Amino acid sequence: MEQTIEDPPTSAVLLDHCHFSQVIFNSVEKFYVPGGDITCYYTLTQHFIPRRKDWIGIFRVGWKTTREYYTFMWVTLPIDLKDESAKQQEVQFKAYYLPKDDEYYQFCYVDQDGVVRGASIPFQFRPENEEDILVVTTQEELETLQNINKNLEQKVKEQKDCWEAEVHQLKEQNQKMSSENEKMGRRVDQLQAQLSTQEKEMEELIQGDQDKTEQLEQLKKENGQLFLSLTEQTEHQKTLKQTMEEMKRKETTIVKRQQELMDENVDLSRRLSENKILYDALQKEKENVERENDLLKRDNSRLLSYMGLDFDSLPYQVPAADQEGAGPNPQLVYGNPYSGIQESSSRSPLSIKKCPICKSDFDDGICDHTLEQMQALYLSCPICDKIFPAEEKQIFEDHVFCHSI
């Protein structure tokens, strides 16, 4: 039987007015594993007759009224109540609609008048072997969240105590008003009976003796006073009824506000859990960034080692782009490793006093080796004309790559 959108019939009946022994729940487990459907078995007693709008709900332990159900399923009416096997019934709750926390819950059978006819023993939704989950957070954040949660719980508790006291006071006033209303009703009945008696006496005096005119006038005056008193009592009774209705409306408003605060507390608890999860995710992301940073440091050290330089010994030079107001290149965590190296640190082939092949001097400008042979021994940067020996090809390629970024 699938759960429908229609809400079940509920009521604000307190626990003292429920009849838990008319429906008995059987084979209730101590806990159910989350993620699976559960079947609820129950037995109808011989003095109980189910009806079409009866339902079975899952309630958190400590519920006060049948409006506090978590989820529910409509019951199936047995075909023949006289058959003993028809007393054994069951309903199935789908996993999607079941609670996701590890609080204690219980099954409750509620009839179409909103009255509880049976309740099961408490149970939980949790795995068979729960593992402790380590939540990593800073002590300061944890204390802050705990203080916020504690303040909210204290606030809800104080508000709840205040409302319970006010509800108790309203109930006492309601009972007092009801007693006064009953007294007024009895007084009105007495006045009406007295008025009838006076009218009869007046009729007897009119018919009996015309000489008693003065006495008749006196009775008329008393009758008028009684009528005015009756009118005043009626108006007072109407006022009391209006006051009682206003007090009932206030009581309903207080109960609704109390439920809103409880929902707000639940929402804050959920947000606290979400913040803890987000903190864990950010912590992991931070660790990943630090690992990537270490990799970039090692790559940077490798590039500097190709050039025979130490990263700590390099003088810091502000790039031209930074001096003009532009920010550093976002693709380089530690900047361009070649930006601190002066272009004059490498010598061009023409500034070398001797030929690297034949070791002859260039002072006279005479050498037997051609320019093509010189180009084969050196690598020249096509952008800044910087010269690198042919055996340092990897450093030359890294240098050219740095111009592209």
Mean pLDDT across the chain: 77
**DSSP codes, 330-345:** TT-SS--TTTTS-GGG
Residue closest to 55 by CA, chosen among 85, 11, 105, 121:
11
**Eight-class DSSP state of 349:** G
Average pLDDT over residues 339-350: 44
Assign a CATH topology to domain 23-124.
Immunoglobulin-like (2.60.40)
CA 380 to CA 309: how far, in whole Å? Answer: 20
The set of residues, in sequence order, having a beta carbon less than 8 Å from that of 396 and lying 6+ positions away, is 379, 381, 388
Best-predicted range by mean pLDDT (9-13, 187-191, 330-334, 364-368): 187-191
For 179-228, the pLDDT digits (tens) are 887 888 888 888 888 888 888 888 787 777 676 777 778 888 888 888 88
- List the structure tokens of 10: 């509920």
pLDDT (0 to 100) of residue 11: 59
Name the strands in the sheet holding 116-119, side by side, starting at the edge strand that comes first in the sequence.
Answer: 69-74, 55-60, 105-110, 116-119
For 86-122, the pLDDT digits (tens) are 788 999 999 999 999 989 999 999 999 999 999 999 9
The set of residues, in sequence order, having a beta carbon less than 8 Å from that of 67 and lying 6+ positions away, is 10, 11, 12
Name the strands in the sheet holding 38-44, side by side, starting at the edge strand that comes first in the sequence.
Answer: 23-26, 38-44, 88-93
pLDDT (0 to 100) of residue 335: 52
For 309-339, the pLDDT digits (tens) are 655 555 444 444 444 444 444 454 455 554 5
The set of residues, in sequence order, having a beta carbon less than 8 Å from that of 53 and lying 6+ positions away, is 8, 9, 74, 111, 112
**Eight-class DSSP state of 69:** E
3-class secondary-structure state, position 327: coil
Of the candidate ranges 7-11, 13-17, 233-237, the one whose mean pLDDT is the lowest: 13-17
**Is residue 117 left, alpha or beta, with left meaning phi > 0 and alpha meaning psi from -120 to 50?**
alpha
Confidence of residue 394 (pLDDT cuts 50, 70, 90): confident
pLDDT (0 to 100) of residue 23: 92
CA 142 to CA 134: how far, in whole Å? Answer: 13
Every domain of the chain and the residues it spans: 23-124
CA 393 to CA 193: how far, in whole Å? Answer: 125
Evaluate the CA torsion angle 389, 395, 398, 403 in order and state its sign.
Answer: negative
Say yes or no to pLDDT of 69 above 90. yes
